[in-house]
Amino acid sequence: MDAPQTGESAAEGAEGEVQPPPLSTSVFDSEGKGEEDEETTHEIKSKVFKMFKKDGGQLEWRDQGVGMLRLKQRRETNARRVLMRNSTTGKIILNFSMYPGMKPTLAGKVVSFVGFDNGTSTSYKVRTKTDDQAKELQGALEREIEFVRAKSESP
């Protein structure tokens, strides 16, 4: 059996789009409680940083940990949300509904957006392993946000 000549891996199909599931050794990286009635539309192993205000009023980014970030779609209502659990502790570090005005921005391996933490708007940065993974995440977010936007504009 010859090795692929074009740089394709054996896991890629004819279109080059089929990818193996992300490798993970953590039990917390698999889907968990509360996700039974949802479909995952995109997932990626990443690291999340959250904007905090220090006592003096200065802002700083704080590491929230590494985990599987998932874009979820509720089967019955088609509602969309962002969900991520810390791979080490299982603690939920991202869990909010996508909204029509959400605007993910891309800078290299980082996708930034404003999400929600217990109802309070909060800035987040999601760092992926490669620039291409970040582009895929941004594209997936934009696709899901477009659905939310169209749904909110319909009568």
pLDDT digit string, tens, across residues 30-69: 555 556 788 899 999 999 999 999 888 899 999 999 999 9
- Which of 87, 116, 118, 90 minimizes the C-alpha distance to 101? 116
Q: What is the mean pLDDT of the chain?
A: 83
DSSP-based three-state secondary structure for 142 = helix
d(Cα 30, Cα 122) in Å, to the nearest integer? 26
What is the dihedral angle through the alpha carbons of 113, 88, 20, 35, rounded to the nearest 10 degrees? -70
Strand partners for 61? 51
pLDDT in tens, 71-125: 999 989 999 999 998 988 889 999 999 999 999 999 999 999 999 998 899 999 9
CB neighbour burial string for 76-111, b if at least 16 within 10 angstroms, e if fewer:
eeeebbbbbbbbeeeeebbbbebeeebebebeebbb
For residue 115, what are the contacts with CB-CB under 8 A and spacing of at least 6? 82, 94, 96, 102, 121, 122, 124
d(Cα 56, Cα 144) in Å, to the nearest integer? 37
Does domain 33-153 fall into CATH 3.40.50.1970?
A: no
